[in-house]
């Protein structure tokens, strides 16, 4: 009930709930009065209402059984008691102070306590050791599939705009601390649009230069012209050599790994319109232990490749 911006709706709902119960009690007594006034006829004969259907089908007017009446009244009393104990009358919290949010939090706490021993084992372990642990990998993978796969793919290989986490190439860095930060705090990669500063010819030239950086087929004349524009506009973030800057999440443009694609059209689109890419923060979704296991899982995805190097 605390979701409403004015008190009005609290009173409105409370009034409807109470009026409903009063109405039920009134209904019972109004009918009793009616029944009394049309008592059973003497000689045990039951009075009838005077309604007749199909020629001889009479509607009788039997008095309500006592047990039924008491059940009815008891249910009204129960309803009142319930409204005293639990929230139901608009903003009134109820004596027990129960709330569905509180109940959920209690359940979650209980669940956390139950799984705590499972995570406790990894408390003092370094990330590489956790990544080596089969049980930790299993938990990490389940967390990943449930919370990360919708963006990064179930094999963590990503898709257009969603980085591949299994290729050993990182926007922000490969160390466990940085991966942990990406997961806990989220990331926001912003590439400003250059559609205003650069005319379409200049965009085409820079595009060719960017393609040449990773050895893709490029028009040498345009690429040579684009080089100056790149140094003036792009080097601040992507570096003079185009090797990127992990502090900004600016991708390395020389490594043949593409977040959006390597075609001239896609690169020109990035330059003209810019990019605004966000990874949501997860520190409120997970416990710190869960983030540790996820970090180890993601870090472990590419470690074999690193060791092989
Ligand atoms: C809503 C989509 C979405 C979800 C869900 C999501 N991510 Fe991301 N993630 C992204 C995007 C987009 C980026 C790239 C951000 C950027 O370009 O700056 C990213 C970046 C990352 C990075 C940094 C990659 C690098 O190259 O440095 C890591 C690590 C990561 N995500 C891990 C995870 C994990 C683990 C989860 C699950 C807990 C997760 N992500 C859930 C969209 C998502
Ligand atoms: C303010 C910093 C900044 C500047 C200046 C900048 N970029 Fe970027 N650029 C980024 C970031 C950050 C991303 C990653 C966006 C994301 O995470 O989605 C990016 C992405 C890109 C991509 C996509 C790479 C891929 O893997 O698909 C290309 C291409 C690119 N920039 C080229 C350029 C060019 C060319 C210029 C100069 C005209 C330029 N950038 C200027 C920060 C910058």
136 neighbors 294 (Cβ within 8 angstroms): no
Tokens matching residue 33: 């009065």
Predicted TM-score (pTM) of the model is 0.75
Q: Stretch 8-22: mean pLDDT, rounded?
A: 93
The answer on whether 234 is annotated among ligand-binding residues is yes
Answer yes or no: do 194 and 270 share one domain: yes
- Is the predicted pLDDT of residue 36 greater than 90, yes or no? no
Which residue shows structure tokens 């992990």?
Answer: 246
- Position 299 confidence tier, pLDDT thresholds 50, 70, 90: very high
Q: What is the pLDDT of residue 60?
A: 81
Read off the CATH number of the domain in which 260 is found. Answer: 1.10.760.10
Query: Is 272 found in the same domain as 193?
Result: yes
Is residue 115 situated within a structural domain?
A: no
Is 51 known to sit in a ligand binding site? no
Domain match, 138 and 258 both: no
Is the pLDDT assigned to residue 308 strictly greater than 50? no
Highest average pLDDT, of 53-62, 91-100, 160-169, comes from: 160-169
Residue 24 marked as a ligand binder:
no
- Is 148 part of any known ligand binding site? yes
Q: What's the whole-number mean pLDDT along residues 248-253?
A: 96
Write the secondary structure of the chain as one string of H (helix), E (strand) and C (coil).
CCCCCCCHHHHHHHHHHHHHHHHHHHHHHHHHHHHHHCCCCCCCCCCEEEEEECCCEEEECCCCCHHHHHHHHHHHHHHHHHHHHCCCCCCCCCCCCCCHHHHHHHHHHHHHHHHHHHHHCCCCCCHHHHHHCHHHHHHHHHHHHHHCHHHHCCCCCCECCECCCCCCCCCCCCCHHHHHHHHHHCEEEEECCCCCCCCHHHHHHHHHHHHHHCCCCCCHHHHHHHHHHHHHHCHHHHCCCCCCECCCCECCCCCCCCCCCCCHHHHHHHHHHCEEEEECCCCCCCCHHHHHHHHHHHHHHHHHHHHHC
Is 76 annotated in some ligand binding site? Answer: no
- Same domain for 199 and 275, yes or no, is yes
Residues 148 and 296 in one domain: yes
Question: Average pLDDT, whole number, for the chain?
Answer: 90
In this model, does residue 141 exceed pLDDT 90?
Answer: yes
Whether residue 304 has pLDDT greater than 80? no
* Domain-embedded: residue 120: no
Residue finishing a domain among 56, 85, 114: 85
Mean pLDDT in residue range 41-57: 74
Residue 217 pLDDT > 80: yes
* Ligand 1 atom with least separation from CA of 246: 27
- What's the CA gap between 166 and 38, in Å, rounded? 85
Distance 304 CA to ligand 2 centre (A): 29
Q: Do 272 and 256 sit in the same domain of this protein? A: yes
- Residues 23 and 162 occupy one common structural domain: no
Tell me how far apart the alpha carbons of residues 41 and 53 are, in angstroms, rounded to a whole number. Answer: 21
Which ligand number lies closest to the CA of residue 187? 1
Q: Is residue 103 part of a domain?
A: no
For the CA of 223, the nearest ligand: 2
Residue 85's nearest CA partner among 101, 99, 103, 105 is 99
Range scoring the smallest mean pLDDT among 24-38, 91-105, 181-195, 196-210:
24-38
Contact residues of ligand 2, CB 6 A cut-off: 189-192, 194, 206, 210, 230, 233-234, 236-238, 248-251, 253, 258-260, 267, 270-271, 275, 277
Instruction: State the total domains in the chain.
Output: 3
**For residue 39, what pLDDT is reported?**
53
Most distant pair of Cα atoms in the chain: their distance: 118
Task: Report residue 66's pLDDT band, with 50, 70 and 90 as the boundaries.
Answer: confident
Residues 136, 27 share a domain: no
Question: Do residue 179 and residue 145 come from a single domain?
Answer: yes
Distance 162 CA to ligand 1 centre (A): 7
Q: What mean pLDDT comes out for the span 257-285?
A: 96
Are 252 and 170 in contact by the 8 Å Cβ rule? The answer is: no
Range 96-125 average pLDDT = 89
Judge whether residue 306 has pLDDT over 60: no
Token pair in block for residue 91: 């903003």
Q: Given a cut of 60, is residue 77 above it in pLDDT?
A: yes
- Considering 66, 85, 104, which residue would you say is the last residue of a domain? 85
| Cβ 277 under 6 angstroms from ligand 1 | yes
| 227-250 burial: b if 16+ Cβ within 10 Å, else e | bebbeebbeebbeeebebbbeebb
Q: Which residue has the higher pLDDT, 308 or 3?
A: 3
Q: Taking 90 as the threshold, does the pLDDT of residue 181 lie above it?
A: yes
pLDDT at 45: 64
**Is the pLDDT assigned to residue 19 strictly greater than 70?**
yes
User: Is 230 close to ligand 1, i.e. is its CB under 6 Å away?
Assistant: no
**258 and 133 in a common domain:** no
Which whole number is the average pLDDT over 202-229?
A: 96
Is 121 inside a domain boundary? no
The dihedral over CA atoms of 144, 146, 151, 152, expressed in degrees to the nearest 10, equals: 30
Same domain, 271 and 288: no
**Inter-residue contact 35 to 64 (CB < 8 Å):** yes
Average pLDDT over residues 268-284: 96
In this model, does residue 309 exceed pLDDT 90? Answer: no
Residue 176 near ligand 1, beta carbon < 6 Å: no
Domain enclosing residue 167, as ranges: 126-186+280-308
pLDDT-derived band at 88, boundaries 50, 70, 90: confident
pLDDT tops 90 at residue 140:
yes
Residue 44 has pLDDT above 70, yes or no: no
* Residue 100 domain flag: no
Q: List the residue whose alpha carbon is closest to atom 2 of ligand 1.
A: 151
More confident residue, 190 or 89: 190
91 inside domain: no
Residue 114 lies inside a defined structural domain of this protein: no
Do 202 and 61 share a structural domain? Answer: no
Q: Is residue 133 part of a domain?
A: yes
Decide: residue 66, CB within 10 A, 0-12 exposed, 13-18 middle, 19+ buried.
Answer: exposed
Mean pLDDT to the nearest integer, 134-152: 95
Q: Which two tokens stand for residue 168?
A: 């050993």
């Amino acid at each position: 009930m605390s979701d409403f911006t004015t008190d009005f709706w609290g009173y409105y709902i409370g009034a409807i709930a109470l009026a409903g119960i009063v109405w039920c009690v009134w209904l019972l007594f109004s009918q009793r009065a009616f029944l009394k006034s049309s008592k059973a006829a003497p000689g045990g004969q039951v009075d009838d209402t005077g309604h007749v259907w199909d020629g001889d089908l009479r509607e009788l007017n039997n008095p309500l059984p006592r047990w039924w009446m008491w059940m009815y009244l008891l249910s009204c009393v129960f309803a009142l008691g319930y409204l005293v104990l639990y929230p139901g009358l608009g903003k009134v919290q109820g004596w027990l102070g129960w709330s569905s949010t509180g109940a959920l939090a209690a359940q979650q706490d209980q669940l956390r306590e139950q799984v705590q021993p499972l995570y406790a084992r990894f408390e003092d372990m370094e990330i590489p050791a956790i990544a080596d642990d089969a049980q930790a990998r299993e938990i990490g993978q389940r967390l990943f599939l449930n919370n990360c796969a919708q963006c990064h793919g179930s094999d963590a290989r990503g898709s257009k705009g969603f980085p591949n986490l299994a290729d050993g190439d990182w926007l922000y860095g490969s160390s466990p601390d940085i991966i942990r930060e990406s997961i806990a705090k989220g990331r926001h990669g912003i590439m400003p649009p250059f559609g205003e500063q650069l005319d379409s010819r200049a965009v085409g030239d820079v595009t060719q230069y960017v393609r040449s950086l990773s050895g893709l087929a490029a028009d040498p004349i345009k690429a040579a012209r684009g080089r100056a524009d790149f140094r003036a506009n792009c080097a601040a973030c992507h570096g003079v050599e185009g090797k990127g800057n992990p502090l900004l999440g600016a991708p390395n443009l020389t490594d043949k790994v593409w977040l959006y694609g390597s075609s001239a059209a896609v690169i020109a689109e990035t330059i003209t319109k810019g990019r605004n890419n966000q990874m949501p923060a997860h520190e409120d979704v997970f416990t710190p232990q869960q983030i540790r296991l996820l970090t180890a899982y993601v870090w472990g995805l590419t470690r074999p490749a690193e060791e092989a190097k």
